[in-house]
Structure 1
Amino acid sequence: MRSQPAGARALLLGIGLAELAVIATSGATPVSGPGQNASPAARLTGHDEAISARQVGYPPLDTPKPVAENVFIVDSLLPGPLGAVLPVRMTVIRLPDGSLLVHSPTRFSDPLKQKLEELGPILHLVAPSLAHWRFLEEWQHACPSAITWAAPGLGERAAVRRSGVRLDHELRDAPPLTWGDAVRPVTVEGAMGFHEVALFHTPTRTLVLTDLAMRLEPPKVPALLRPLIRMFGTMAPDSMPPPYLRAVVKQRRRQAADAARRLLDLRPERVIFAHGRWFDQDGAAELRHSLRWLLD
């Protein structure tokens, strides 16, 4: 550790703490049958899912909920390591031509697709970061007319190439003409190929992120993990991303800080992100607090 630069030490420390979190939530009993062949998604059904929705999620799940004019969120659950369940959220924006843009797609279901199509045709899918593309393939099969926009460099990742997911275009800071003037992308860059593409919905001053802000609530975190999550800085009211992500972003601190200032200059009224209680008011002030590790 002494021979590593400060950023690498922070990254290694974050990985080590994450390992401790996995150990704290693991057990000796298999989560399924002898072969353990059931997929994590298949286990999130029935009574267990109802319990998880109340404990860690934000019900109603897998249904569009309006938060501003032409802006909707879909709260869902994400299978985690060793049977853990995490809350996750996607954002849906109705563009000026009436079509829908789906940012950071969550798990697919036919009922969810039908509910969205009542709002408009699904013509744009956005994979905004290295971690938020896993459910793309199902959405692409169900919405063959949709164009997929990806964060820079995502298509070069080995896991993405192996998956067979189709990425049509890289998304940078110039908005596609098909989006009209309603949505503005802003890319935050880090080391190790990290990019997160934020979207700003101009008419409602709504900023859409994935992991650059995270506000987990104590009642929705297992008691044994609360001290660790609070140490990470991802627990309310700190609302920061986990330390390993902060370390990666700080390796490109000047570029990332410039992008963060552009986000703040937009003065968002609300900020939606993937995990935890999003900022439904005082968005600019809350975001400034979440990004203090990068700007201060």
Structure 2
Amino acid sequence: MQDEAILYPPLDVPKKVAEGIWIVDSGPIRPLGLRLPVRMTVIGQADGGLLLHSPTRFDAALKGEIEKIGRIAHLVAPNSAHWTFLKSWQEHVPDAVTWAAPGLRDRRQVRRSGVRLDRDIVPGAADWPQEIVPIIVPGIGSFAEVALFHQPSRTLVLVDLVQNLEPGKLPRASRIPARLAGVTAPHGRAPIYLRAVVRAKGHDAKAAARHIAALEPDRVIFSHGA
């Protein structure tokens, strides 16, 4: 019951939010012992293919529902935390191309997992969906998050750069840490530690932020919270 209280049902089903855009709410995940909701975004392509951004847990029924929409052509791991469900999807959708945030393949945990990373997300990459603009938000160390802008629907898709956790849905023990981290609704933002990691990158991070702001998206989707 505690897990159900923090989530956004119905779970593990595609829910349309705009033309060519669906979300899949799932979870909970347990980073650092905290229970959090998590969300995948499904993005349509002009050729009928689909891109799964930050895939959530694999479910055969979910796969079937997504394939009613289109062919799963791309799987995207957009930062150093959102890749752990990729391997299960790869086993069931072997022809999909898996794209990784810069530096992800160098992480020891990723190498040990056996997950397959076909290509890094870089500007101008061959076979990348043309209607989706990737913006790399760099940080120090091995952190990078790839924001995606779906041009036809003017939708910006993030993972951790915005978090908007509802205090009333969180376990009591998690509410104070979430508030101190600055990620509670209705004015969610990046956690304090992540803001520091990105800001330390200086000019490159500011350039990415200006690029995102200049896109003027009609909506923003992220992975954790309302």
* TM surpasses 0.5: yes
Quote how far apart the aligned CAs of 1:242 are: 1.2
Aligned match of 2:3: 52
Structure (1 or 2) with the greater strand fraction: 2
**Counterparts of 2:179 and 2:213, CA distance in 1:** 25
* 1:46-85 map, 5 Å: 48=1, 52-53=3-4, 55-80=5-30, 84-85=34-35
Aligned match of 2:149: 200
Q: TM-score, length-normalised on structure 1?
A: 0.73
Q: Is the 8 A contact 1:172 1:197 kept in 2?
A: no
Aligned match of 2:140: 191
Aligned match of 1:254: 203
From 36, 44, 51, the equivalent of 1:86 is: 36
Q: Is the 8 A contact 2:3 2:28 kept in 1?
A: no
Q: Is the 8 A contact 2:7 2:28 kept in 1?
A: no
Q: TM-score, length-normalised on structure 2?
A: 0.95
From 156, 164, 171, the equivalent of 2:106 is: 156
From 170, 192, 217, the equivalent of 1:268 is: 217
Aligned match of 1:239: 188
**Counterparts of 1:68 and 1:112, CA distance in 2:** 19
Moved over 4 A (4+): 81-84
Quote how far apart the aligned CAs of 1:240 are: 1.5
Where 2:8 maps in the other structure, the secondary structure is: coil
Name the aligned partner's letter for residue 95 of structure 1: Q
Name the aligned partner's letter for residue 99 of structure 1: G
Q: Is the 8 A contact 1:175 1:183 kept in 2?
A: no
Aligned match of 1:289: none
Name the aligned partner's letter for residue 52 of structure 1: D
> How many residue pairs were aligned?
226
Q: Is the 8 A contact 2:20 2:44 kept in 1?
A: yes
Structure 2 residue 171 is the aligned partner of structure 1 residue 222: yes
Structure 2 residue 61 is the aligned partner of structure 1 residue 111: yes
Q: Is the 8 A contact 2:29 2:36 kept in 1?
A: yes
**Counterparts of 1:232 and 1:158, CA distance in 2:** 27
Where 1:265 maps in the other structure, the secondary structure is: helix
**Counterparts of 2:137 and 2:58, CA distance in 1:** 27
Q: Is the 8 A contact 2:23 2:40 kept in 1?
A: yes
RMSD of Structure 2 on Structure 1 (CA): 1.5
Question: Sequence identity of aligned pairs in percent?
Answer: 52
Quote how far apart the aligned CAs of 1:80 are: 1.0
Largest Rg, 1 or 2:
1
Aligned match of 2:85: 135
Quote how far apart the aligned CAs of 1:178 are: 4.8
